[in-house]
Structure 1
Amino acid sequence: MSLVAVTGASGKTGWRVVDEALKRGLAVRALVRPGSVLPAALAEAEQQGRLDVRRLDLSATEALHAALSGCDSLVIATGARPSVDLAGPLKVDAFGVRDQIRACQAVGLKRVVLVSSLCAGRWQHPLNLFGLILVSKRLGERWLEESGLDWTVVRPGGLSEDDSRSEREGVVYSGPNQQESSSLPRRLVARVCLEALETPAASGRIIEITSSPTQEPQALNQWLEAAIPAPG
């Protein structure tokens, strides 16, 4: 059985990626900061031996290499938290992503899905008032694109904590720089990330996602079959 690593696994999106992966019967290694408190579902899974949890500082190179060794794929769900430190996005969403990319290269982990953000790379956007967060996210994306790894970037819109929406709304997919607003539940983001891992056609693509109650549910591979072929 392949082993999926998830960084930022105690975060609001990351823990849902882990939870959805466990529901699919996947083997999961959750990477969290030493002081993180696991959500109840993950804490229970760890106690039951269904989840491998590694607590480490992602900037600690040797510890990160050890945590990723033996894994077949990685979902990067780390993200800068609101803070008075305006350098936070650069540290987490750019250099922090680069550290994870380098660790993957070092241990031979090839398949990576990065959770980024709608409008990544745009300079004239209100979110950039908080430490140029969208610029930092685009830096992380670019380093992944240039890494030689088998990558997919998922750019979600506004993130909702209402998991019930995931059963009432369908995902609206698009290529890069085509959507500007709208939201979706974090639970749907998690599902799309896992679908991307399992879908060869998602490799080398930036995929933007939001959701709508008027959108018929559609699997990622169905949308990709109808989408414009990737360059090259």
Structure 2
Amino acid sequence: MRLAVTGASGKTGWRIVDEARLRGHQVVPILRPNSQLPDGLVADGLPLKRLNLADQNALVAALNGCDALLIATGARPSIDLAGPLKVDALAIRDQITACRRAGVKRVVLVSSLCSGRLFHPLNLFGLILLWKRLGEQWLEASGLSWTIVRPGGLKEAEEQLEREGIRFSGPNQQESSSIPRRLVAQVCLDALELPAAIGRILEITSGEDVPKQTLADWLIENPTSAI
């Protein structure tokens, strides 16, 4: 498939790009005009699409011909408390609109565990979890074929990932724990390739004490989940 990845310069985004290429997909990395490239993305040597997500014409042009969009954009801590509103809600709406215009029907969104929760320490940063949930809701109501992936705390570790089992659940069932970003990227690609993942919110954490299970197997055992 030809896949677009927004937030491609981010710590999770470039790993999604990398995993997609390892699986033989053609990738269109989309990133902000002034984003610095991580070493992992520089090494790929891919042609990059630098644009403002609010620039509809530029975003539609980047998405044209793509089979799916993986959204890995996310607000970063800063003094701008409106950042989460802009990035985790309004920019999601802009990407949904662009997908409709470009004919991209399949979308996987990387969100966060505890999305929508009011009383949470993360909300000290511009009510980020509330804006993430609004972005999710707009995607759910978009008419697109969507999957929302809510990872726990994100880890940079790349070593010994084979020891980690992934704990899958439906929405609002996990509250803590963590997961390496590389495993998040792999789950996003798995979800993209599994029709049973469409219309699902997937919460994921991992640990060496978690039994190994694939997303495909978990979806068979859990065919529906209440939102």
Helix, strand or coil at the partner of 1:159: strand
Q: Which amino acid aligns with 2:156?
A: E
Secondary structure of 2:97's aligned partner? helix
**5-14 or 31-40, which moves further after superposition?**
31-40
Partner of 1:62: 57
* 1:14-51 residue CA offsets vs partner (Å, 9 max, x unmatched): 000001111111110000111222222322222xxxx3
- 1:199-210 → structure 2 map (5 Å cutoff): 199-210=194-205
Counterpart CA distance in 2 for 1:229 and 1:84 is: 40
- Alignment partner, residue 104 of structure 1: 99
Does structure 2 conserve the Cα–Cα contact (< 8 Å) formed by 1:17 and 1:193? yes
- Equivalent residue, structure 1, for 2:121: 126
Residues 1:223 and 2:218 aligned together? yes
5+ residue gaps in structure 1? none
In structure 2, how many angstroms separate the alpha carbons of the residues matched to 1:166 and 1:65? Answer: 36
Alignment partner, residue 80 of structure 2: 85
Please tell me whether residue 148 in structure 1 is matched to residue 143 in structure 2.
Answer: yes
Question: Deviation of residue 217 (structure 1)?
Answer: 2.4
Unaligned runs of 5+ in 2: none
**Aligned-partner Cα distance in 2 for 1:61–1:165:** 41
- Residue in 2 aligned with 1:14? 13
Superimposed CA distance per residue, residues 55-78 of structure 1 (whole angstroms, 9 cap, x where no aligned partner): 111111111010111100010000
Q: Any idea what SS the aligned residue of 2:159 has?
A: helix
Q: Which amino acid aligns with 1:108?
A: G
Match of 2:167 among 168, 172, 186: 172
TM-score by length of 1: 0.94
Is the 1:110–1:149 Cα contact (8 Å) retained in structure 2? yes
Give 1:228 shift: 4.0
Q: Could you report, residue by residue, the CA deviation over 1:113-165 in whole angstroms, capped at 9, with x for unpaired residues?
A: 00000000010111111100000000000000000000000000000011225
CA distance in 2, matches of 1:34, 1:73: 22
| Kept after mapping to 1: 8 A contact 2:171/2:225 | no
Whether 2:131 is the aligned partner of 1:136: answer yes
Structure 1 segments (4+ residues) deviating >4 Å: none
Q: Which residue of 1 aligns with 2:43?
A: 44
